[in-house]
Structure 1
Amino acid sequence: MTDLLAARTQMALSLGFHIIFAVIGIGMPALMVLAERKWLKTGDPVWLDLAKRWSKGTAILFAVGAVSGTVLSFELGLLWPTFMEYAGPIIGMPFSLEGFAFFTEAIFLGTYLYGWTKLSPKAHWWAGVAVMVSGTVSGIFVVFANAWMNAPAGFEIVNGLPTNIDPIAAMLNPASFHQTLHMTIAAFATTGIAVAGIHAWMLRKNPHDVFHRSALHVALLVAIPASLLQPISGDISAKFVAKYQPAKLAAMEGQFATERGAPLRIGGIPNEATRETKYALEVPKALSFLAFADFDAEVKGLEAFPEEDWPPVAITHFAFQIMVGLGTLMMLASLWVLVLWWRKREVAESRPLLTFLALLTPAGFIAVEAGWVVTEVGRQPWIVYGFMRTKDALTPMPGLVYPLIGITLLYCFLGVVVAYLLWAQILKTKPMTQEMRVP
């Protein structure tokens, strides 16, 4: 394994591990805040139990996310020092602001966990709101930095070096809005669907369990609007990619030839050697319309770009298909729930829907991972799009396969610990009947 491949693999592994906890760190506080709000309004002990249990899970995941995020910060400097020297002065502001948001989240999470008997109920609830807001803002600032890598702005190049730096313009680059919107909505949809799936699975065994019925209801309140809004944010993102990163769009769609009225491909296997995508279901002219709101618009194919500037086509295409496919299933599940609610039927009474939700438990996380593959692999061979290639940002230090092995073992250990702690939390849940709800 070359040092470049080892470094890229290590970053992919670190980001893939950390993004799970970042997503949950945005979505879970919303669930515990909603549950506590229900308790404040009704006095029903099931809502209090839910809020406390979810807050403990949030704390576990926050701690592991802090560790994996710290590892990522070190890796940026150790593996990609040229990139940090080049980009540090430009994107330092969002990273600094993310630090403030992170520490705010940590402070209020501690207040929330230990303040049940020390704060008034309303003050305690507002501490939870602060956790939710600061966690969301923290994620947004990180995505600002990544968005800059896709659409560099806020500087000028003089003698090969960035000068006249405007950190605000860099942070609010053309990719900022669509990336932060897409990622934030994805976090709520992913967390909501995952929590709904866990409790749906438990309800398949005991559909009258009040605890799991209540938890499923709150999770769906978060999951449904996010899942239904996600296709809209995805459309905004696709239009940005079509305008600013046409090579990425071509790889996402397996589009090799430049053509007007380009079809949208569902599935298919791209072949870079023959420059065609076989076995795809093609929707005539749909790609041109979705990308440019014109059925006859020209879509640039990969052949319009030097081959050394092509991203890995197959990986980008397959990841995009997985993301869209799973997002569609999550949207369909949300519509199914809405139909039942419209008919005034309980979700817990529909075993097929409970099964569907249970099967979708990991769907959001897989879709998020696939989306980041599209974002990062689709940008290759650039680490800063159009300005710096990934290979030119690599550290000259040899033997990068050894830290890769060490990081892999660390994440395997952390993954086992987290899985055990969360499973222990689930096992502590005892069935609750309607009669047990009386305070």
Structure 2
Amino acid sequence: MIAEALALATEEPAGLLPARQQMAFSLGWHIILACFGVAFPTMIFVVHLLGLRGNEVALVLAKRWAKVSAVLFAIGAVSGTVLSFEMGLLWPGLMGKFGDVLGLPFAFEGLSFFTEAIFLGLYLYGWGRMSPRLHLLCLVPMAAAGIFGTFCVISVNAWMNMPTGFRITASGDVVDVEPWKAMFNEGALLQFLHMWLAAFMVAGFVIAAVYAAGILRGRRDRHHRLGFTVPFVFGSVAAVLQPVVGHILGIRLGETQPAKLAAFELADTTEQPAPLRLGGLMIDGEPRYFIEIPNWGSFIARGSFDLPVRGLDTFPASDLPPVNITHIAFQTMVGIGSLLMLAVIVYWLLRWRGRDLLDTRWFCWFAVAAGPLAVIALESGWVATEVGRQPWVVYDVMRTVDAAGDNPGLWWVFGTTLVVYTLLTIGAVLVLRSMARRWREDGEELPSPYGPAALAEDGR
């Protein structure tokens, strides 16, 4: 067994491991910023609308959140550009063979990015220069572009899970390409909806966590309470809907990617009905250290209490994903998602009955923790999706080993990426902390040659 593993390792191209490492790092880093690009404009729209209806605190939030959004967008533009180049650099086998199939959604994503940038600029520069209603409406195409751009990217990933829109000849050539069919494949809508809700969970709970931390420090004014409530509402709705969408996606795995489903469920053999295993690891081919709940594995995986879940032993060893990583990532995502769902249900039920848990320190601490927990759930979900599809980069069509190049110099590219992203992270933290500190100290806007404050000073 060891000799076979060593022989397999020697057959891997030199660029495979650095490509995997860089893709995992850069995508995991960028996806957090992408969540804010999807969800933040909608939240800004809500507080700006409240501001136009007479809520001055909400209008202040709209101004400040827009500047935070601009910082995050600028950094996300760098990481997103890196990702676009990475597809061809790291995976030449994939893009060389299927570039014609995947070109359409990537082109639309680029257009969406520029549209979002244009309207973000108009919104930032439009304070005092546009009519209030027109200024507010700048957020609509900005939000729509972020959502559509995300759909384009997710559609590519959905295509990798459920490839369609092409035909491969006996000689291995890709012909009869149908870009629209590939883009709007069967898995695109549900995967996008799953990611869309995840974006609102991450952005909603992270922003709410910032204001919950301020409340813990004694800042219980209207500004902090509204700053907590608006994003927490969005995060709450997404947290309640997310398990439903995730369950539907999980049921489809039984037909589309049964090996991934078996890894999710830690099913070493086919069982009917299958139990739900909480925790656990696959050790020497057997699941160990888990808590078993009878029949519920079948319901979660197949939507029925008596349908079987196919076992890992029914697949060739060469077609199995890394079981433990896939299983742990999946259960981390589901566990955190379930916790957040139950927490928001309790919060809003008690608030409906007249008790606001935001007045209790223990809930504020939980709200602070909810932000990082949502990020962990997001990252775990992507690990489960991507690692669970292995060894395929395009499921049942192209293996990951065939998509990578044979360039050992990619390690230098990965090292450079680590340095650049570290500097970007430090820069973002310093800028955002500086903005927050100035707002806390004197409540003034950051210096700007435009906007209401500047216009007032000019006597206009």
- Normalised-by-shorter TM-score class: over 0.9
Using the TM superposition, give the Cα deviation of residue 336 of structure 1 relative to its aligned residue in structure 2, in angstroms: 2.3
Inter-partner Cα distance in structure 1 for 2:108 and 2:144: 14
Say how many residue pairs are matched: 430
CA deviation vs aligned residue, 1:253-289 (integer Å, no higher than 9, x gap): 2111112111111111222xx2122111111111212
SS at match of 1:378: helix
**Separation of aligned partners in 1, 2:176 and 2:302:** 34
State TM-score, norm by structure 2: 0.91
Shift of 1:370: 0.7
Give the partner amino acid of 2:300.
L
- Structure 2 counterpart of 1:51: 62
Gaps (5+ residues) in structure 1? 434-439
How many Å separate the matches in 1 of 2:107 and 2:124?
26
CA distance in 2: counterparts of 1:293 and 1:315, whole angstroms: 24
- Residue of structure 2 equivalent to 1:148: 159
* Map of 1:221 onto structure 2: 233
Aligned to 2:439: 429
2:122 aligned partner: 111
State the match for 1:209 in structure 2. 221
Is the partner of 2:439 in helix, strand or coil? coil
Paired residue type of 1:140: F
The secondary structure found in structure 2 opposite 1:297 is coil
Q: Does 1:261 align with 2:273?
A: yes
1:359 to 360, 366, 369: 369
Conserved? CA contact 1:210–1:432, under 8 Å: no
Counterpart position of 2:86: 75
Residues in 2 aligned to 1:391 and 1:227: alpha-carbon distance in whole angstroms: 36
For 1:284, the aligned partner's letter is P
Match of residue 436 from structure 1? none
User: Secondary structure at the residue paired with 1:260?
Assistant: coil
Q: Report if the CA contact (8 A) 1:198-1:358 is conserved.
A: yes
The residue that corresponds to 1:411 in the other structure is 421
- Verify: 1:132 aligned to 2:143, yes or no: yes
Equivalent residue number for residue 3 of structure 1:
15
1:317 and 2:327 matched = yes
- For 2:272, give the aligned amino acid: R
Match for 1:365: what amino acid? V
Distance 1:346 1:35, change over 3 A: same
Deviation at 1:34, TM superposition (A): 0.9
Matching residue of 2:102: 91
- Output the CA distance in 2 between the equivalents of 1:72 and 1:122: 36
Map of 1:186 onto structure 2: 198
1:347 deviates by: 4.0
CA distance in 2, matches of 1:174, 1:103: 28
1:194-245 deviations in Å (ceiling 9; x for gaps) = 1111111111122522211110111122111111001011101101222200
Equivalent-residue separation in structure 1 for 2:427 and 2:357 (angstroms): 33
- Measured after TM superposition, the shift of residue 426 of structure 1 is 2.2
The alignment partner of 1:259 has SS state of coil
Stretch deviating more after TM superposition (122-131 or 286-295): 286-295
Percent of residue pairs bearing the same amino acid type: 44
| Alpha-carbon contact 1:323-1:368 (below 8 Å) kept | yes
Aligned to 1:380: 390
Query: 1:306-361 CA deviation, whole Å, 9 max, x = no partner?
Result: 10111111111111111111111211221122123211333431222111111112
In the alignment, the residues of structure 2 paired with residue 281 and residue 323 of structure 1 have an alpha-carbon distance, to the nearest angstrom, of 17
CA offsets 1:353-407 (integer angstroms, 9 cap, x no match): 1111111121111111111101111111111100111111111223321111111
Q: Deviations over 1:101-131 (max 9, x none)?
A: 1111111000011101111111111101221
Provide the C-alpha distance between the structure 2 equivalents of 1:330 and 1:423, rounded to a whole number of angstroms: 27
Distance in 2, matches of 1:348 and 1:231, equals 25
Whole-Å separation in 2 of the counterparts to 1:240 and 1:49: 45
SS at match of 2:440: coil
Q: Which residue of 1 aligns with 2:452?
A: none
* 1:89 match: secondary structure: helix
* Matched residue SS, 1:362: helix
Paired residue secondary structure (2:71): helix
Q: Would the aligned equivalents of 2:271 and 2:308 in 1 still touch at CA under 8 Å?
A: yes
Report the CA distance shift for 1:204/1:429 in structure 2 as closer, same or farther (over 3 A).
same
The alignment partner of 1:429 has SS state of helix
Match of 2:5 in 1: none
8 Å CA contact retained: 1:210, 1:431: no
**Which letter maps to 1:314?**
N
Q: Are the aligned partners of 1:6 and 1:404 in contact in 2 as well (CA < 8 Å)? A: yes
